[in-house]
């Protein structure tokens, strides 16, 4: 209240870029409105019907005018398209070396988990200056992860992993909304994003209780569900070894090759027979559809990821602090 700006707070550099593009469109719209409404107003006054006046001259059209008023707006629109597409492309491709968060939406709350094992509900803490990649999962219906201050929004779709990312620049407390209608308390499915200076963030990270990092929890689930008996890590088992599997292409028995990404691992846990690795048998692994929570799945995926050790992302094997430190942009 009392704030008469037409812009929400800008918590990231990207927000400023979107606002600039928005301002460009506002200016173009204003020009168009002045032109059209101005013409109509002038014509309506100047050529108002006068009793006894001769009937007006008739104009059937002008190819030149049609060409001009089709082409010029289209060219202006192309500028909007390219500019908007460029920003969208940036917003859809996170940089390397991100701080990774895992957010699960369910009716009607946001559950947040950090690689170090910290968990929160409806609160997110991030440092300034580090790109943050959020992996989004849903336990039930479609939600949408919306942080107006970052001009970031992405639907959270059950059965999919979606990615949103941002890099906060200004410490503050910003709204987190659910933007996709999700049932009774949709409007209350909100929370706060707390942007802190890196030093404050370190302090925040080290406080509070936790039950081990996501990798540790994933490892625990990995043995708890008995995965470890068949997916022997460093020898040939009944199921493929998961060592160095994530992020690499996988040969399937039907001749296809797929990339082992989050979606592949998820599908292989929930519906193992959907894709069988070449040289392995069908129906060996039980179907886990409905058996593991979305958060458990994310922990397992982080664990499987950790077995691959991609060079650019050292995997913390024990506790926090995590990637935030030592991976500045």
CB of 107 to other proteins, least distance (A): 7
Residue 232 CB, nearest approach to other proteins (Å): 30
* Binding of other proteins by 175 (CB under 8 A): yes
Q: H-helix or E-strand containing 268?
A: helix 262-270
Helix, strand, or coil here: 304? Answer: helix
Task: Tell me, residue by residue from 44 to 73, as one string, x for binding to other proteins by CB under 8 A and - for no binding.
Answer: x--xxxx--xxxxxxxxxx--xx--xx--x
Toward other proteins, which CB reaches closer, 90 or 238?
Answer: 90
Q: Cα separation of 223 and 212, whole Å?
A: 15
Least distance CB 132 / other proteins (angstroms): 17
Among 102, 110, 165, 177, binds other proteins (CB under 8 A): 177
Looking at the DSSP assignment, which residues form a beta bridge with residue 73? none
Q: How far is the CB of 96 from other proteins (least distance, A)?
A: 18
CB of 116 to other proteins, least distance (A): 28
Q: Site for other proteins (CB under 8 A): which residue of 13, 27, 34, 39?
A: 39
Q: What would the two tokens of residue 193 be? A: 């994003």
Rounded to a whole number, what is the distance in angstroms from the first to the last CA of the chain? 36
Shortest reach from residue 46's CB to other proteins, in Å: 9
Contact with other proteins (CB under 8 A): which of 16, 87, 129, 220? 87
CA torsion 236-242-245-246 (nearest 10°) is 180
Segment contacting other proteins by CB under 8 A, of 32-40, 213-221, 240-248, 250-258? 32-40
Which of 90, 80, 86 lies closest to 22 in space, CA to CA? 80
Binding mask 138-157 for other proteins (x = CB under 8 A): --xxx-x-x-xx-xxxxx-x
Is 264 a binding residue for other proteins by CB under 8 A? The answer is no
Interactions with other proteins, residue window 193-252 (CB under 8 A): none
Return the bridge partners of 163, or none: 135
Q: How far is CA 207 from CA 112, 116, 118, in A?
A: 16, 12, 9
Q: Least CB distance from residue 192 to other proteins, whole Å?
A: 11
Q: Is 29 helix (H, G, I), strand (E, B) or coil?
A: helix
| Total of residues contacting other proteins (CB under 8 A) | 89
Told to check if 182 binds other proteins by CB under 8 A, we report yes
Interactions with other proteins, residue window 102-121 (CB under 8 A): 107
DSSP labels for 166-233? E-B-S-EEEEEEE-S--STTGGG--EEEEEE-HHHHHHHHHSS--SS-HHHHHHHHHHHTTHHHHS-S
Residue nearer to other proteins on the CB measure, 233 or 274? 274
> Strand order in 109-113's β-sheet?
119-121, 109-113, 99-106, 132-138, 162-166
Q: Does 290 bind other proteins (CB under 8 A)?
A: yes
Other C-beta atoms lying within 10 Å of the C-beta of residue 167: 21
The H-or-E segment that residue 23 falls in is helix 13-46
Give the rounded distance of the alpha carbon of 105 from its chain centre.
Answer: 13
Q: Does 25 bind other proteins (CB under 8 A)?
A: yes
- Supply the DSSP symbol for 316: P
Q: Does 253 bind other proteins (CB under 8 A)?
A: no
Q: Measured from the CB of residue 265, what is the shortest distance to other proteins in angstroms?
A: 15
Q: Which is closer to other proteins, CB of 209 or CB of 283?
A: 283
Select 161 or 303, whichever has its Cβ closest to other proteins.
161
């Amino acid at each position: 209240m009392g704030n008469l700006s037409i812009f929400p707070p800008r918590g990231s550099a990207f927000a400023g870029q979107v606002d600039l593009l928005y301002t460009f469109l506002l200016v173009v719209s204003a020009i168009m409105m002045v032109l059209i409404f101005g013409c109509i107003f002038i014509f309506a006054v100047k050529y108002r019907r006068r009793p006894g006046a001769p009937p007006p001259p008739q104009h059937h059209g002008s190819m030149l005018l049609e060409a001009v008023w089709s082409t010029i707006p289209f060219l202006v629109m192309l500028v909007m398209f390219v500019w908007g597409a460029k920003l969208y492309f940036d917003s859809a491709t996170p940089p390397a070396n991100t701080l990774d968060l895992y957010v699960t939406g369910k009716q009607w709350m946001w559950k947040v988990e950090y690689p170090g094992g910290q968990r929160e509900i409806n609160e997110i803490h991030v440092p300034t200056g580090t790109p943050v990649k959020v992996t989004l999962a849903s336990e039930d219906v479609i939600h949408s992860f919306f942080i107006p201050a970052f001009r970031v929004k992405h639907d959270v779709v059950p059965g999919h992993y979606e990615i949103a990312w941002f890099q906060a620049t200004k410490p503050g407390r910003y709204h987190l909304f659910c933007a996709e209608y999700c049932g009774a308390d949709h409007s209350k499915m909100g929370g706060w994003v707390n942007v802190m200076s890196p030093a404050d963030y370190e302090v925040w990270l080290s406080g509070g209780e936790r039950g081990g990092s996501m990798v540790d929890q994933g490892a625990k689930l990995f043995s708890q569900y008995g995965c470890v008996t068949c997916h022997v890590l460093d020898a040939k088992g009944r199921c493929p070894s998961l060592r160095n599997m994530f992020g690499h292409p996988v040969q399937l028995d039907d001749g296809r090759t797929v990339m082992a990404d989050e979606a592949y691992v998820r599908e292989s846990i929930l519906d193992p027979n959907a894709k069988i690795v070449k040289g392995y048998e069908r129906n060996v692994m039980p179907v886990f559809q409905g058996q593991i929570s979305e958060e458990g799945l994310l922990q397992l995926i982080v664990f499987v990821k950790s077995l691959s050790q991609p060079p650019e992302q050292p995997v913390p094997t024990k506790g926090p602090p995590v990637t935030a430190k030592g991976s500045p942009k």
